[in-house]
Amino acid sequence: MLCFSTTASGQFYDGSNTTFGKSRVQYQEFIWQYYRFDRFDTYFYEGGKDLAAFVSEVAPEHIQDIENKLDYVFDGRIEFIIYKTQSDFRQSNLGMAGLDAQQEVGGTAQIVGTKVFVFYEGDHELLISRLREGIARLLVQAMLYGGDWKDVVKNSALLNLPDWYTEGLIAYLKDDWGPDVQSRVKDGITSGRYERFNRLDASESVYAGLSVWRYIAEVYGESVIPNILYMTRISRSVESGFIFVMGIPLPDLMDQYMIYYRNRFQDEGIAISDSGVEEIRLKTKAERS
């Protein structure tokens, strides 16, 4: 048994021939080993044992935190696939598509089924951030499209969600609200670009969506977010999901969102993180009835 200072403990497995993605250029052969825990496995190859131990130690806390935020318990077994470097990760075809498009906020952790692929770049805090992104992506996908990959393929064709909705939500769950992100959001709000989400590129859609979900959590309460996802899935409509839960059309919600952040950012002399916010009290649908 492998025991850590936290409550995590697991069984070690050696010499797996498991492959994760086909390589376009194979520079080295990965011999995978893994630790098995109650809810997840952590895969690593030669030289990655310490990283795997670290991920295995911190993963339960972050799984629990994101499940709490979404009011959702993932009943599958998660497989964390840990690469020691980004170049090793890029040897897999999993690292070839979609990584560069959203490098700044999203897209640095990828999932396939219940597998979460992350790579290390010498910063454990950054590794945790990528781990959280992968967990959030997996849980959001399961909530919206189902846990089985066949359900994902079928339901994703029926439910086409914009980047600001999905990638913004993942960034929100990832807790990506540092000074750089806040500055980008402030610029998008004050310049008026965020008044037209459909005109934003993929990267900026993530920032805009993050700020929308953060607004909803701060004004309506974080507990409404799982209900919005559920009603979006049931109705197969972004607009209907918000109307059913919050009681207002999406365009009106976006107008309120813009007012909220403009009030927040109007004083250039106040730091964004602790600016004096003019409170906007908006009633939920339940309170109005």
pLDDT (0 to 100) of residue 14 = 60
Angle between helices 250-265 and 202-219 (to 10 degrees): 90
Domain final residue pick, 111, 129, 150: 150
Number of domain units in the chain? 2
Q: Return d(Cα 24, Cα 1) in angstroms, integer.
A: 37
Range 271-275 contact pairs with CB under 8 angstroms and sequence separation of 24 or more: 272/179, 272/182, 272/183, 272/186, 273/179, 273/182
Predicted local distance difference test score (pLDDT) of residue 5: 30
Q: Is the pLDDT of residue 3 over 90?
A: no
CA distance 1 to 37: 10
Residue range 186-220, pLDDT digits in tens: 999 999 999 999 899 988 999 999 999 999 999 99
Question: Considering all CA atoms of the chain, what is the largest pairwise distance in Å, rounded to the nearest integer?
Answer: 63
HEC profile for 18-54?
Answer: CCCCCECCCCCCCCEEEEECCCEEEEECCCCHHHHHH
Q: Are residues 126 and 205 in the same domain?
A: no
Question: In terms of domains, do 142 and 101 share one?
Answer: yes
pLDDT above 80: residue 7: no
Between CA 155 and CA 229 the distance in angstroms is 14
Residues 165 and 262 in one domain: yes
- Find out whether 149 and 130 touch, Cβ atoms under 8 Å: no
**Residue predicted with more confidence, 21 or 134:** 134
Among 91, 124, 150, residue at a domain's last position: 150
Categorize the per-residue pLDDT at 126 as very low, low, confident or very high, splitting at 50, 70 and 90.
very high
pLDDT tens track for 241-273: 999 999 999 999 999 999 999 999 886 544 444
Q: Are residues 135 and 163 in the same domain?
A: no
70-106 per-position pLDDT tens digit = 999 999 999 999 999 988 888 765 544 434 333 333 4
Q: 115-119 and 78-83: which strand pairing?
A: parallel
Same domain assignment for residues 127 and 236: no
Query: How much is the pLDDT for 141?
Result: 92
pLDDT band at 160 (very low <50, low <70, confident <90, very high): confident
Judged by DSSP in three states, 103 sits in: coil
End-to-end CA distance of the chain: 55
Per-residue confidence (pLDDT) for residue 145, from 0 to 100: 86
CB burial readout 4-36, b (16+ within 10 A) else e: eeeebebeeeeeeeeebbebeeeeeebebbbbe
What was the pLDDT predicted at 98?
A: 39
Asked if residue 146 and residue 45 are part of one domain, the reply reads: yes
More confident residue, 266 or 278: 266
**What does the block give as tokens for 68?**
């709490």
Q: Kindly tell me if the per-residue pLDDT of 289 is higher than 60.
A: no
Are residue 173 and residue 140 in the same domain, yes or no? Answer: no
pLDDT digits 0-9 by tens, 97-121: 434 333 333 445 688 889 999 999 9
Tell whether 87 and 220 lie within a shared domain.
no
Of 89, 120, 150, the position where a domain reaches its end is 150
Do 170 and 45 share a domain, yes or no? Answer: no
Residues 260, 138 share a domain: no
Do both 117 and 15 map to the same domain? yes
Q: Where in the sequence is the domain holding 271, given as residue range(s)?
A: 159-288
Evaluate whether 113 touches 21 at the Cβ level (below 8 Å): no
What pLDDT, on a 0 to 100 scale, did the predictor assign at position 181? Answer: 93
Are 146 and 164 found together in one domain? no
- pLDDT tens digits, 30-55: 889 999 999 999 999 999 999 999 99
